[in-house]
Structure 1
Amino acid sequence: PDLDIQWVRDSTGIITAKLLAEKDNPKADVVWGLAATSLKLLADEGYFQPYAPKGVDKLDPNYVDSANPPVWVGQRAWIASLCFNTIEAEKHKLPKPASWKDLTKPVYKGSVVMPNPNSSGTGFLDVSAWLQMWGEEGGWKFMDGLHENIAQYTHSGSKPCKMAAAGETVVGISFAYRGAQEKTKGAPVEVIAPSEGVGWDLEAFAIAKNTQKLDAAKKLADWSVTRKANEMYNEGYAVVAMPGVAKPVPNFPEGIADKMIKNDFEWAANHREAILAEWAKRYDGKSEPKK
């Protein structure tokens, strides 16, 4: 859209914490590609101003904030998956997991890597999905069992899959696009959508309330909902906000869209702080050191 943009890029948890710390005096003009659950949280703090981009009515309404005009607008979905290294699995005689619950079996002890939800949006969408699918008691019970088998929690959602692709772990809990990308590059990985259902989140866009560059922000917002923009999102994501645009992504798990849970963004945003505190209390001991 013919704009000069100065980016500040980092993992979801780190950007969310930075924006929350700046909420009384936002430094950003717009927030691009952050998880919708984080945008909902920031919207509740009054960080954004509503704006309906021109053409927003052409998007799937499930991917747009329900307020009128919307505070945030979704762009594309990223979806939880397992990256499974078939060569390492054969070496260690490990079966291919078909479900999340399989990962709690003793045979996988020390063979699973997962993102820390306090740093990673992928980690948070996993934890949120498990709690939504199985309730408080069932979700934490599952995570207790999974923790027994975890070798390490990483601070990036991509890293577990990259580690699986490199043979540094057998199972990396990551997201489908990263797995598809590694497989396309030739890594010996299978990308698995666990049978119980998969968590997901939207990468979305919003305009900061006190931006001095409102015209440019609106121009970017208008461009972000165009067909051209959605075609670009589809280069890396199988699910985009504009219906009828997405073409299949090579090596993406078949039928994964049917396994996407009915995601309650409001619940996830409202409980985020408590969930992350509880998770850290229980499991942070296995997290990799922060850089």
Structure 2
Amino acid sequence: MKKLLMILMMIPTFLILISCGQKEKGTLTVYVGLYEDHAIRAIEAFEKETGIKVSHVRMSNGEILAKIRAEKDAPKASVWFGGPSDTFVQAKMEGLLQPYFSANEHFIPEIYKDEEGYWTGIYVGSIALVSNRAWLQEVGLHAPNSWQDLLKPQYKGMVSMADPRSSGTAYTVLATLVQLMGEEEAFRYLEQLDQNVRTYTTSGSVPGRSVGMGESGVAIMFAHDALKFFKEGFRDLIITFPKEGTGYEIGAVGMVNGAPNEEEAKIFIDWSLTKQAQELGKQMGNYQLLTNETAISPEEAFYLTEINTIVYDQQWAGESRSRLIERWYELVN
């Protein structure tokens, strides 16, 4: 009887010891370059599948880079999720990212990932010219299908694009023009274009809403963002591509150097490369091409093989980012 009593008294302590011996799942902070609706849906799915709690902050790509740079000595976030890879290239050069080769990276073609493991592509999207049908009819223009169209006098004060210092979209535009035209010609073009620009926004998607509401005539932005706005009710939007050629982004995911929750960060990156994770975006009305070879891209997605794209050099764009942005800022000011 005494032995039985002793055993019963020991059970709670034994259970507590077992409980303490189990590794608790940590939390994760993620800086997000995706649309807020896409980010929320993805994080909800990840939390449900893994039990890892995630907090996130949504910012434009240049803002994420600046944030990670400011927190370099004491990182708060572990993962950078979404946004053009050329900004990841710059972050890699500055020692702000750390490499991780995911077990799922074999699903991603080589052209969509960093060979040293610092970032991996999760989607692809192309730059387009997005115009307002009603405005075009009012001024007697056809939808622009050339970069040169945007220099016409009718476009004065009616072109909207983002600021490449904060926007990954706008930097993709800048790097596209330089790769397409050569640097000197591209900056001569940008100087002329500046005379027609209504405003430079912080976010790359805002110009699309401006055009959709008739505040601007045309926006330079990602085609998939414009398609999202069209589906949401901005039916006057027309999406065209410049005949000279256009560039594209590889939206990426990567781990912050010194990630405070490294194991959880690895699990998140593994998950983000899966077919199931990548297909969540189209459920929320996001229409990028997907990089996982087994994932099914949205039917509405703009395939690079169907438009005239340049051979966009992500590595060069990332290495040249600071210099080109500084030159652009001097030009427009």
Give the alignment's TM-score, normalised by structure 2. 0.79
Q: Amino acid of the residue matched to residue 113 of structure 1?
A: S
Instruction: Give the whole-Å Cα distance in 2 for the aligned partners of 1:230 and 1:182.
Output: 20
Q: Say what the alpha-carbon RMSD is for the aligned residues.
A: 1.8
CA contact (8 A) 1:234 1:240 kept: no
Instruction: Give the whole-Å Cα distance in 2 for the aligned partners of 1:146 and 1:275.
Output: 16
Match in the other structure for 2:105: 56
| Structure with max Cα Rg | 2
Match of 1:205 among 238, 248, 253: 253
Match of 1:184 among 212, 215, 231: 231
Match in the other structure for 2:81: 32
Match of 2:114 among 65, 68, 79: 65
1:27-66: CA deviation from partner (whole Å, max 9, x where unpaired): 2111111321111111122222211111211111111101
Q: Amino acid of the residue matched to residue 279 of structure 1?
A: W
CA contact (8 A) 2:224 2:302 kept: no
CA contact (8 A) 1:59 1:242 kept: yes
Match in the other structure for 2:215: 168
Structure 1, unpaired ranges of 5+? 285-291
1:96-153: CA deviation from partner (whole Å, max 9, x where unpaired): 2111111112222122111111121111000000001111111111111211211111
User: Structure 2 vs 1, CA of residues 245 and 176 (structure 1 numbering), >3 Å: closer, same or farther?
Assistant: same
Match of 2:174 among 117, 127, 147: 127
User: Structure 2 vs 1, CA of residues 249 and 116 (structure 1 numbering), >3 Å: closer, same or farther?
Assistant: farther
Q: Matched residue pairs, number? A: 281
Match in the other structure for 1:6: 55
1:185-264 aligned at under 5 Å gives the runs 185-187=232-234, 188-235=236-283, 236-250=286-300, 258-264=307-313
Instruction: Give the whole-Å Cα distance in 2 for the aligned partners of 1:254 and 1:63.
Output: 15
1:77 equivalent in alignment to 2:77:
no
Match in the other structure for 1:110: 157
User: Structure 2 vs 1, CA of residues 217 and 255 (structure 1 numbering), >3 Å: closer, same or farther?
Assistant: closer
Q: Amino acid of the residue matched to residue 158 of structure 1?
A: S
User: Structure 2 vs 1, CA of residues 178 and 212 (structure 1 numbering), >3 Å: closer, same or farther?
Assistant: closer
Instruction: Give the whole-Å Cα distance in 2 for the aligned partners of 1:147 and 1:168.
Output: 17
Instruction: Give the whole-Å Cα distance in 2 for the aligned partners of 1:138 and 1:234.
Output: 38
Match in the other structure for 2:18: none
User: Structure 2 vs 1, CA of residues 241 and 44 (structure 1 numbering), >3 Å: closer, same or farther?
Assistant: same
Measure how far apart 1:14 and its partner are.
1.3
Q: Amino acid of the residue matched to residue 226 of structure 2?
A: G
CA contact (8 A) 2:289 2:302 kept: no
Match in the other structure for 2:199: 152
CA contact (8 A) 1:23 1:45 kept: no
Q: Give the ranges of 4+ consecutive aligned residues of structure 1 lying more than 4 Å apart after TM superposition.
A: 252-257
- Give the percent of matched residue pairs that are identical in Structure 1 and Structure 2: 30
Match in the other structure for 2:72: 23
CA contact (8 A) 1:192 1:253 kept: no
Report the more deviating stretch, 46-55 or 19-28: 19-28
Q: Secondary structure at the match of 2:123?
A: strand
CA contact (8 A) 1:121 1:157 kept: yes
Measure how far apart 1:173 and its partner are.
1.3
Measure how far apart 1:256 and its partner are.
6.7
CA contact (8 A) 1:94 1:108 kept: no
Q: Secondary structure at the match of 1:174?
A: strand
1:46 equivalent in alignment to 2:100:
no
Match of 2:322 among 269, 273, 281: 273
Instruction: Give the whole-Å Cα distance in 1 for the aligned partners of 2:168 and 2:304.
Output: 23
1:60-83: CA deviation from partner (whole Å, max 9, x where unpaired): 11111012xx11111112321121
Report the more deviating stretch, 253-262 or 266-275: 253-262
CA contact (8 A) 2:114 2:120 kept: yes
CA contact (8 A) 2:129 2:145 kept: no
Instruction: Give the whole-Å Cα distance in 1 for the aligned partners of 2:332 and 2:69.
Output: 24
Instruction: Give the whole-Å Cα distance in 2 for the aligned partners of 1:48 and 1:131.
Output: 26
Q: Secondary structure at the match of 1:259?
A: coil
Q: Secondary structure at the match of 1:5?
A: strand
Structure 2, unpaired ranges of 5+? 1-45
Q: Amino acid of the residue matched to residue 142 of structure 1?
A: Y
Instruction: Give the whole-Å Cα distance in 2 for the aligned partners of 1:240 and 1:254.
Output: 10
Instruction: Give the whole-Å Cα distance in 2 for the aligned partners of 1:119 and 1:268.
Output: 15
Match in the other structure for 2:14: none
Match in the other structure for 1:99: 146
